[in-house]
Amino acid sequence: MVLRVNLASTPFANRRLILLACLFVVAASALVAIDYGRDLRRVQRESAVLAQELNKQQHQIAALQGKIPPPVRKEQLGPEERVALQSASTLLESRIFSWSRMLAEIERELSDGVRLTAVSVTLADASKVDALNPGRAPLRVSMVMVGKDLKQILDTLDRMRKAGRFGTFSPRKESVVEGTQEVELEFESTYLPS
């Protein structure tokens, strides 16, 4: 038998494959870097254009803010303007009022056996309407409640008062509902929307 021995330091080494793999990685990295460079230049151009546009708009805003007159105080208004402002504020106040919110608050406090049969709302004091802060003026709410007895209705009114939005209850009329043992109470209350 013939024994063959290879005394080379790196037998069967193919350096071309490793070299080609390294060149491929370097070329791919260069292509990715070039693509990112293009994207970076495009983003820099776009940001420069947007910065110019923003600067232009800021100058326009500053020019427009310089043209805004100072706010007019109520004392500076003439009598006709005050009446018009008060009328507009009152109309706005009645439009902003949330019926569903008020009725939900009433319903939450109703005792068992007590029901609400009528509700009407008016402004309690038109002088408390704030034109710059609508929706906060106190309202006068007229209601009619029917219950098994007066104590149940009064308990409901007490719970409504403790809830915080209703106050100063003033009864108008108490009567017995015809054909039943139920009591009907008509009263007024103030309501603070917010």
Q: Report domain extents, the chain.
A: 98-191
Q: Which tokens is 56 given?
A: 């232009």
**98-191 to CATH, choices 3.40.50.740, 3.40.390.10, 3.40.50.150, 3.30.980.50:** 3.30.980.50
pLDDT for 26 equals 95
With a cut of 70, which residues of the chain have pLDDT below it?
Answer: 1-14, 88-97, 123-137, 194
pLDDT for 122 equals 75
pLDDT tens digits along 114-148? 888 888 877 666 556 565 566 666 778 888 999 88
**Closest to 111 measured CA to CA, from 157, 176, 168, 162:** 157
Cβ–Cβ under 8 Å, residues 187 and 157: yes
pLDDT for 133 equals 62
Which helix (H) or strand (E) segment holds residue 32: the answer is: helix 15-67
pLDDT for 13 equals 62
| Model pTM score | 0.49
pLDDT for 90 equals 67
HSE (side-chain half, CA atoms, 13 Å) at 183 = 12
pLDDT for 78 equals 79
Relative to beta strand 115-123, strand 139-147 is antiparallel
**Closest to 174 measured CA to CA, from 192, 193, 147:** 147
DSSP letters along 126-145, please? GGG--TTSTT-S-EEEEEEE
